[in-house]
A and B are shown apart, each in its own frame.
Chain A
Amino acid sequence: SQQGEEDPQALSIQEGENATMNCSYKTSINNLQWYRQNSGRGLVHLILIRSNEREKHSGRLRVTLDTSKKSSSLLITASRAADTASYFCATALMNRDDKIIFGKGTRLHILP
């Protein structure tokens, strides 16, 4: 897998259901960030989780990180139509400055 690869590529669920997106990476990381992008728009930062953290919450969002499996998941509970967007994980590599590496994203579509 590539550094920062989301799964699934696309997800459609009914409004009110929970949506789970996964991210896998290859190289040890300093932190992992999740971003949302509405079609053709900018990137909105959702959550940053550091390599020594296992779980973080923000509102309806829950992010987990398993460094032994080199994977992270983003759970959106009680989904809403406004959650329809692409979701990207981005990793900051251990001992590397500056850049974060994005995956290709999961396209989430919330059905009314």
Chain B
Amino acid sequence: EPEVTQTPSHQVTQMGQEVILRCVPISNHLYFYWYRQILGQKVEFLVSFYNNEISEKSEIFDDQFSVERPDGSNFTLKIRSTKLEDSAMYFCASSVASGSFIDTQYFGPGTRLTVL
């Protein structure tokens, strides 16, 4: 069964450093998402991406964050200058459809980001 994959599984970085989290969505999916979950808290929406552009973003997704689909398979989340409070599990998700036909979002296993 196709699944969303994410790399790395765990990333440790120093505060102020840039990190890139990578995701390979399910191949026939058109909508891509990033969510994060701070330890012990609920999963929060960051951004959605369709047709090579951001379709929606939350207030968490500030100028320090960016997303990119550099080729036909990868979907990346970049944090330009990490802060301690960016430490969280980051989940990538993808779905076939969205909007009025919003469909199941399939999640990857997550990347645990630890900012020291």
Residues of chain A at the chain B interface (Cβ within 8 Å): 30-31, 33, 35, 40-45, 48, 88, 90, 92, 95, 97-105
Contacts and interface: CB of A to CB of B under 8 A. Distances in A.
Interface in B20-70: 31, 33, 35, 41-45, 48, 50, 55-56, 58
Given A43-B91, A105-B42, A97 B98 contact: yes
Interface residues of B, number: 29
Interface stretch (B11-19, B78-86, B102-110): B102-110
A92 B102 contact: yes
If over half of B's interface residues share one DSSP class (helix, strand or loop), that class is named, otherwise mixed; here it is strand
Contacts of B56: 97-99
A100 B105 contact: yes
Nearest to B3: A42
Interface of B: 31, 33, 35, 41-45, 48, 50, 55-56, 58, 89, 91, 93, 98-100, 102-110, 112
A43 B43 contact: yes
Contact of A98 (B89, B102, B108): B102
Contacts of A92: 102
If over half of A's interface residues share one DSSP class (helix, strand or loop), that class is named, otherwise mixed; here it is strand
Given A43-B43, A43-B91, A88-B42, A99 B58 contact: yes
A30 B99 CA distance: 9
Nearest to B44: A102
A94 to B, nearest CB: 9
B110 A33 contact: no
